[in-house]
Amino acid sequence: MLGGVVETAFAALQRIGVLHSPALAPVEGRYQALLDNPVYLSGLLLAVVGLTFRRQAGERSVRAWAVVAYAALMVSLGLGLEYSGERLGIAAGAGSVIVALLSPALRSARRRVVLLALALAFGVALGNWSLPGGAPSASSQLAATSQHNLLYGRVYSWETAIRATLVRPVAGWGPGRYETATESRRTLLLARAEGGDVVFSDAHNLVVEYLTTTGILGLASLLAFLGFAARSSRGPLAWAAALIFLHLLLEPQSVEMTTLGALCLGGAVPRGPLAAYAPSRALSVGSIAGAGAGAVLGSCLLAGTALMTPSRPVADLMTATKVLPPWPDVPDAVARRVYFDNPASARGSPNARQAEHYALMAAEDDPASEVPWGVLGDLDAVYGDRTGAVKAYEHAVSDNPWAAAALSQLVVVTTDTPTRTWACERLRLLGDTPTGCEAPGSASSSADEFHP
């Protein structure tokens, strides 16, 4: 609960403009507090809402000052949910209120439940009122969902995931490889809903994610584990875990939320015979060693993530490639910065060779991603290598059939009329008509018109 208050306080500080660090800048007008995504802020606050309802309203006798304190907590949680701009937080918060009102276990505390629900609603209204005009709020996002069906992008992504699962149904595509499994299978409906260049690296659904990446065996193991744990769970932490896993049915996994959900679920299980279990010395030493290794790896992740801040020098980005796992985003960012900080460099210059080196590193780290091939195409195009640029862009489109950026640049650099016509037709299906696609055969082939 304290964590929820602290995160809401930082979101409020972001709102009034006190925090000026680039790492704490709002994400598309939404506030994430100390977390790296507003989605995770919404999930955390949602868990605290459930925990608060069950803990406070479940008590038979509560002093007046405690009721006021819990009401103030709910106001702050509603404020934070609204600042996060996440519609699921508002919808699930309303659902938790309904469950609390109907729960037989909370029947004796019905008045306190109503008071907490009103406090939560007041916090949401206060957050909506205090946001600047045009800023995305959670309630406005929820209204847009009902009007424009903004969840369609997730549904289309899940359809793509099912097709990928049918290829490898038993063991899946491998943990963390959802993007690899689905990117080349993206449909026009998904591209129109989310954008041609927007690719989900996560299913935004815990069940679909594990079915795709670990197959039927992995999903069955996960559901069995969660089922046995949930069957014995009790109390406020059980409510918090339930809301977190509900959140994970429509939002991506994260180190913060997935771990917190598992901890809450484990903490909700009553202590049994294993509570008196004394581990052996070898197991204790192994646990300490494992915790130390985890701390070192976690520190590397934190340090590498900090070095990846866009405002950092190129040297820091290069260091991040050595500290972080082989994620293609890191060398891709280095390649773009190395070249575009000195765009006049000749093809054989050290600067150009370095940019190509990091772009190829990104392609090796994730051969199924179109992003590094788009970078290689950009580099070949600015150096006048039309053949190399066309091959790179075609490779990008083979990985993502609706990669709008690669298709647009392919229209500019190719001299092959059928290829240009094909790329233009795909862009028209996406609802875009770039320069060179206004009419058949009108595409320009001037290298001067290339804009990476």
Q: Give the domain ranges of the chain.
A: 2-147, 151-232, 326-449
What's the confidence (pLDDT) of residue 368?
79
* Span 138-142, average pLDDT: 57
Q: Which amino acid is at 74?
A: M
pLDDT (tens digit per residue) in 231-266: 888 888 888 898 899 889 988 888 888 989 999 998
| Residue 30: DSSP 8-state | B
Highest mean pLDDT (candidates 55-69, 147-161, 197-211, 274-288): 197-211
Lowest mean pLDDT among 60-74, 171-185, 269-283, 294-308: 269-283
What's the confidence (pLDDT) of residue 443?
40
CA distance 359 to 347: 14
Average pLDDT of the chain? Answer: 80
Highest mean pLDDT (candidates 13-22, 114-123, 180-189, 370-379): 180-189
Architecture of the domain delimited by 326-449: Alpha Horseshoe (1.25)
What's the confidence (pLDDT) of residue 150?
55
Please indicate whether residue 449 or residue 149 has the higher confidence score (pLDDT). Answer: 149
CA distance 110 to 104: 10
Please indicate whether residue 71 or residue 283 has the higher confidence score (pLDDT). Answer: 71
Burial category of 241 from C-beta neighbours within 10 Å (exposed 0-12, middle 13-18, buried 19 and up): buried
pLDDT (tens digit per residue) in 382-409: 878 888 889 999 999 999 999 998 898 8
pLDDT band at 347 (very low <50, low <70, confident <90, very high): low
* Span 199-209, average pLDDT: 91
Q: Both tokens of residue 410?
A: 């392919």
CA distance 389 to 423: 14
pLDDT band at 441 (very low <50, low <70, confident <90, very high): very low
Q: How far is CA 222 from CA 101, 209, 210, 262, 346, in A?
A: 31, 11, 8, 12, 53
* Span 406-435, average pLDDT: 85
* Span 333-347, average pLDDT: 70
pLDDT band at 167 (very low <50, low <70, confident <90, very high): very high
Q: Tell me if 165 sits within 8 A of 212, measured CB to CB.
A: yes
pLDDT (tens digit per residue) in 265-304: 988 887 665 555 566 677 778 888 888 888 888 888 778 7
What's the confidence (pLDDT) of residue 310?
66
Residue 337 has pLDDT above 50, yes or no: yes
User: 30 — phi, psi (to 5°)?
Assistant: -105, 150
CA distance 302 to 307: 9
pLDDT (tens digit per residue) in 358-384: 888 888 888 778 888 888 888 888 878
pLDDT band at 157 (very low <50, low <70, confident <90, very high): very high
Q: According to DSSP H, which parts of 308-367 are helical?
A: 314-323, 329-340, 350-365
What's the confidence (pLDDT) of residue 445?
38
What are the beta bridge partners of residue 27? 30
Residue 185 has pLDDT above 50, yes or no: yes
Q: Say what percent of the chain tops pLDDT 70.
A: 82
Please indicate whether residue 65 or residue 343 has the higher confidence score (pLDDT). Answer: 65
Which of 252, 239, 291 is closest to 116 using CA atoms?
239
Residue 178 has pLDDT above 70, yes or no: yes
Residue 94 has pLDDT above 80, yes or no: no
pLDDT (tens digit per residue) in 18-53: 766 666 677 777 888 878 788 888 888 888 888 888
What's the confidence (pLDDT) of residue 161?
95
